[in-house]
Homo-oligomer: A and B are copies of this chain.
């Protein structure tokens, strides 16, 4: 009469096959399998398979530890991945971790905007480090987040406009929007344009404002005075681009070029111009910002500022990996700003050459 002791898992297999749990464990793990005689191993595997047996992850993790994990915090709104931005950034994270043993996990927040930090803590419990993108963070949230004791990388675009990165304690990664803006406006100036219309984005957005400042700086460098009537601001989508273009085309003295604070605005502008029979680049030059997939496909191909998304992702991953051992807590805020490049394509043309 056997005792009714409920044998489970590995112990059951061990008894059934007639070996010790140690042997079963060794047989079941790839990296120790070679320590077990082949015939023993196959009996174990066979039985395990028949039983649909799976090692208890908890017990396993308790012994081996959790494989290091990068959590990516995205807002749970359904439309997140509509924008190619996320996909491309994520692709960068994946390829940066691909050769390592790091896992990538996607965490969503957004049940309650006020409880962001709480949600983040809960979701990120088993992650070694977190990258936060997409969710705009308020000052209050950032204060709460200050004492989150784990490697945390914030994309610059989630920060409030006037937030001082240096006085915080976050690792922040972003695009050099300002520099990109300068290069875009200088490009048009170099092509001879002097009357340049600006289709800007919402001035609550850090990215947009930085770009805007870059535009102004570039113009200033060419001695062009800032004319408020040459700035159009509405929203950030193609529809606003159309409106902006309409506004400028209706001016008595039309600008010869348009600087658009993102690609969507540029596409909208492009589209409206075309519909009005105004040819780009012959009649008007248009420059975007982002360099999404569309920029290189549409016609005319868009001159735009390229953001190094993959490098940003790689840097974010690196920061986390570097800080995992020695979480440099309470360090001063660090900003990594990656340079943009100007991708000159077909939508911008020399003014004099026309």
Give the interface of A toward B (CB within 8 A): 30, 49, 52, 55-63, 65-66, 74, 76-82, 84, 86-88, 90-92, 94-95, 97-98, 103-108, 110, 118, 122, 125-126, 147, 149, 238, 267, 270-271, 274, 293-294, 297-299, 310, 327
Contact = CB atoms under 8 A, between A and B. Distances in A.
A30 to B, nearest CB: 6
Interface of A is mostly: helix
B81 A91 contact: yes
A94 B74 contact: yes
A94 to B, nearest CB: 6
Contacts of A103: 105-107
A293 to B, nearest CB: 7
A41 B57 CA distance: 30
The 8 closest A-B pairs by CB, nearest first: A87-B87, A81-B91, A58-B62, A58-B61, A78-B95, A76-B98, A104-B106, A81-B87
Given A86-B91, A293-B293, A293-B294, 17 more contacts: A49-B149, A52-B149, A57-B61, A58-B59, A58-B61, A81-B88, A81-B90, A81-B91, A82-B91, A87-B91, A94-B106, A98-B108, A98-B110, A103-B107, A105-B105, A267-B297, A271-B299
B62 A59 contact: yes
Contact of A86 (B61, B87, B104, B270): B87
B95 A76 contact: yes
A271 B86 CA distance: 28
Contacts of A79: 91
A84 B84 contact: yes
A270 B298 CA distance: 10
Contacts of A107: 103
A57 B94 contact: no
A106 B105 contact: yes
Given A58-B63, A61-B58, A293-B293, A81 B106 contact: no
A80 B76 contact: no
A90 B88 CA distance: 12
